[in-house]
Structure 1
């Protein structure tokens, strides 16, 4: 009985002094809040063997969305060329923005005066034989010296706006192949055109023709972009 009496008194005393102090709980794991672009990148990447660098992809999506809002893009396709990567790797991607899938991942050439294995300098000038960075709309197919080719319209003044006048087009080239890389230790180069392998050219240009979006990226674009400035 004495024990029960003192137990009750202690209980009442502790009740008047408020609840017992809380013990320290473990720190919760940090929750990463991904952006919409990061979620999209991860979603596509999960079903693709490779992807452009995220910085390149992020800018491609930003420009694509802006051009889409302006009504300039007529197809939900985004072609990305990532010149941060070696010409010996597949650095061109065609992404279906509806299904969030990579339809093509291919080798692609850069201009002969833009660099050897890596493209590092760019121009919008006639006869520069350099690639031009930035956003393009795909045009119409025509038959030229490289067979069926796709005209391109540059959308950024001073960067690629002279593409049609320079004859910068997407076309087939026999020097864009694994065999050429094995023989020369680098991909062949163009006069500024994003040339692609012969065996996929017909399918690719028929797919992306008619005002789809093409984006060619190098880190130097960040300082000179007209669309994303």
Structure 2
């Protein structure tokens, strides 16, 4: 439950990492033909295969596992931050209206509409009584709380929690994510067994802590240059 620490990596460097990883995927054949047609379920007209600034529809269809209001907010954030979120084929949404005992970290494939839901912790500063429910957000350094808003994923590094993925906060509600070392990592206190024994997960220092069993799936599926959106609706 100790906060992850990131050695001095700037916002510009993290975004550059995502941009380099994403450049081939956006400009290449990955968004050609059938995939562009599939993405049209969630986006407006695409002027060319190389253009990232597609317009998200005002009334998208939410996967059945995700509340429509949260999904619409996430897609609005994806549109708002399109210049910084260079890969927009998949996103993750964290529904902090749900308790930590429920799978509330939703990884969504926007082309197919399929989603997978995982357990994820919230910060101890957001749940000081350890009730299992997030009661408040904070962007303050030292708060040990979860922050709301859109994050863009950076590179993978090995830190005190093992393999972890850096995050950059894109909104005023989470733009201290880098100095706070808010990242995605695994933790022993996140697992179905923990829920079965205690009825809730342990708490992080504000990081998105997933189970050890789900870490590699999370790191590889999101990659660098994609969005994680966290909120209460």
TM-score, normalising length: structure 1: 0.72
Cα deviation code 1:157-181 (max 9, x no counterpart): 2x11010111110000111111111
- Aligned residue pairs: how many? 175
Runs of 4+ aligned residues of structure 1 deviating over 3 Å after TM superposition are 36-39
Q: How far is the alpha carbon of 1:193 from its aligned partner?
A: 0.5
Q: How far is the alpha carbon of 1:183 from its aligned partner?
A: 1.9
Give the Cα separation in 1 of the matches to 2:144 and 2:121. 12
Give the Cα separation in 1 of the matches to 2:216 and 2:229. 20
User: Does structure 1 retain, via aligned residues, the 8 Å contact 2:78–2:85?
Assistant: no
Q: How far is the alpha carbon of 1:39 from its aligned partner?
A: 5.2
Q: How far is the alpha carbon of 1:71 from its aligned partner?
A: 5.5
- The SS at the match of 1:171 is strand
Q: How far is the alpha carbon of 1:192 from its aligned partner?
A: 0.4
- The SS at the match of 1:113 is helix
Give the match for residue 195 of structure 1.
Answer: 209
User: Does structure 2 retain, via aligned residues, the 8 Å contact 1:111–1:130?
Assistant: yes
How big is the alpha-carbon RMSD for the aligned residues of Structure 1 and Structure 2?
Answer: 1.7
Unaligned stretches of 5+ in structure 2? 1-56
User: Does structure 2 retain, via aligned residues, the 8 Å contact 1:176–1:195?
Assistant: yes
* 2:61 maps to which of 40, 46, 62: 40
Give the Cα separation in 1 of the matches to 2:60 and 2:76. 14
* 1:121 maps to which of 136, 139, 143: 136
Give the Cα separation in 2 of the matches to 1:154 and 1:84. 20
State the structure with more CA Rg.
1
Q: How far is the alpha carbon of 1:182 from its aligned partner?
A: 2.0
Give the match for residue 74 of structure 1.
Answer: 87
User: Does structure 2 retain, via aligned residues, the 8 Å contact 1:139–1:153?
Assistant: yes
Unaligned stretches of 5+ in structure 1? 1-35, 46-50, 220-229
Cα deviation code 1:105-129 (max 9, x no counterpart): 1000000120131111111111111
Give the match for residue 7 of structure 2.
Answer: none
Confirm or deny that 1:137 pairs with 2:128: no
* 2:96 maps to which of 75, 79, 83: 83
